[in-house]
Amino acid sequence: MADQLQLNPNSVTGITDSSVPSDDDEPSLSSHTLAALKEFLAEQQHHSDAGGGSEVSLVSENWNLSQFWYTPETAKTVAEEVLTLCGGVHARVACIACPTLYVYLKQMNPNATVQLLEYDKRFQQYGSDYTFYDYNLPDEIPSELKHSCKVVVADPPYLSQECLEKVAETIRLLIQPGESFVLLLTGEVQKERAAEILGLYPCGFRPQHSGKLGNEFRLFSNYDPETRLGGWEK
C-alpha cells in the first residue's frame, strides 16, 4: 500500500550496495546516473488536466506489486521537509520503499545524497543510489550505510505490527548518532504502534496517493515540525 510494494512476507532476498562518497567529497551524481534520472523524469512527466501545469510521476504502477504513488503535492511537501532537515549540508537521506520521494528529492536538489532502499529492481537504473531491499531481512544493510543517515523516511509495505517492527530495525541501523530525524508514512491504524516502537507521533499533514486509497494515511515524525507539516499531534 502507499508508495511502496506489498511483498510476499515469505520472500527472502539479499541487499546489494554501492559506493558511498566520503564526508570530504562533494556529493554529486555520476554522468550515468544523472542521465538515467533525467530520462526517467522526462518520460514520466505529463500535463495535468486543469491549468496546464505538469507533475512528475514514476514508472507505471505495478498492480501485481500493489504499488501506489504519492500525489505530486504529497511528494513535494515531504521532499521540502527532508531538504529543510538536511539544513543545506551534505547530509545523507535514506528512503525506504518510497521511490516517489526519491525522485522529487533528486529533482529539487540533484546533488542531494539520497539512498533508495527498494524491492522493485526497475529502480536499478539509479546505480549507486539504489539498494535492493527486502524488509524480511531488516538487518542486512550494507555496512557503509549503517548509522550514516541524518534523515530516514520509510513507508512500510504492510499495515501490520510485524512489518513495522522489521522496518524499525532497519531505521535504527541507518540513522546516525546525535541529531537525526525519522519520518514514517503509514496507515492511521499504526498510530499507537508508531509511538511504541519508534517514538513517532502524527503530523497534521495528511499524505495522499494518486490511487485514492481507502485507508487513511498519516505522516509520523520523531521531532516537532512546529509550523511545518501542519504541526505535531503529540
Asked if 219 and 202 touch (Cβ cutoff 8 Å), the reply is yes
Q: Is residue 230 part of a domain?
A: no
Q: Is residue 1 part of a domain?
A: no
**For residue 15, pLDDT beyond 60:** no
Q: What is the mean pLDDT of residues 30-47?
A: 57
C-alpha cell at 85: 532537515
91 phi and psi angles, rounded to 5 deg:
-90, 145
Number of domains in the chain: 1
State the pLDDT at residue 65. 59
Q: What is the pLDDT of the chain when averaged over all its residues?
A: 81
Q: Is residue 30 part of a domain?
A: no
pLDDT level of residue 9 (50, 70, 90 thresholds): very low
209 phi and psi angles, rounded to 5 deg:
-125, 150
Q: Is residue 204 part of a domain?
A: yes
**For residue 64, pLDDT beyond 90:** no
Provide the Cα torsion 57, 58, 59, 60; round to 10°: -60
CA angle 86, 88, 92 (to 5 degrees): 40
State the pLDDT at residue 68. 76
State the pLDDT at residue 195. 98
Provide the Cα torsion 53, 108, 180, 163; round to 10°: 50
Q: Is residue 138 part of a domain?
A: yes
Q: Is residue 104 part of a domain?
A: yes
pLDDT level of residue 56 (50, 70, 90 thresholds): very low
**For residue 76, pLDDT beyond 50:** yes
DSSP single-letter state for residue 190: G
pLDDT single digits (tens) 91-106 = 999 999 999 999 999 9
Residue with cell 505529463: 46
Residue 216 maps to which CATH number?
3.40.50.150
C-alpha cell at 207: 499524505
pLDDT single digits (tens) 161-220 = 999 999 999 999 999 999 999 999 999 999 999 999 999 999 999 999 887 667 899 999
**For residue 48, pLDDT beyond 90:** no
Asked if 4 and 184 touch (Cβ cutoff 8 Å), the reply is no
State the pLDDT at residue 47. 35
Q: Is residue 41 part of a domain?
A: no
**For residue 73, pLDDT beyond 90:** yes
Residue 151 β-bridge partners: 93, 181
**For residue 5, pLDDT beyond 60:** no
- Structural domain including 101 reads 80-220
Half-sphere exposure of 215 (CA within 13 A, CB side): 14
pLDDT single digits (tens) 108-151 = 999 999 999 999 898 898 899 999 999 999 999 999 999 999 99
Q: Buried b / exposed e across 48-62, counting CB within 10 Å, b at 16+?
A: eeeeeeeebbbbebe
Cβ-in-10-Å burial (0-12, 13-18, 19+) of 74 comes to buried
State the pLDDT at residue 181. 98
Q: Is residue 100 part of a domain?
A: yes
Q: Position 180: which residue type?
A: S
State the pLDDT at residue 90. 86
State the pLDDT at residue 78. 98
C-alpha cell at 112: 542531494
Residue 132 β-bridge partners: 118
State the pLDDT at residue 170. 98
Asked if 95 and 10 touch (Cβ cutoff 8 Å), the reply is no
Question: How far is residue 11's CA from residue 7's CA, in Å, rounded to a whole number?
Answer: 7
State the pLDDT at residue 234. 82
Question: How far is residue 206's CA from residue 2's CA, in Å, rounded to a whole number?
Answer: 12
**For residue 8, pLDDT beyond 50:** no
pLDDT level of residue 60 (50, 70, 90 thresholds): confident
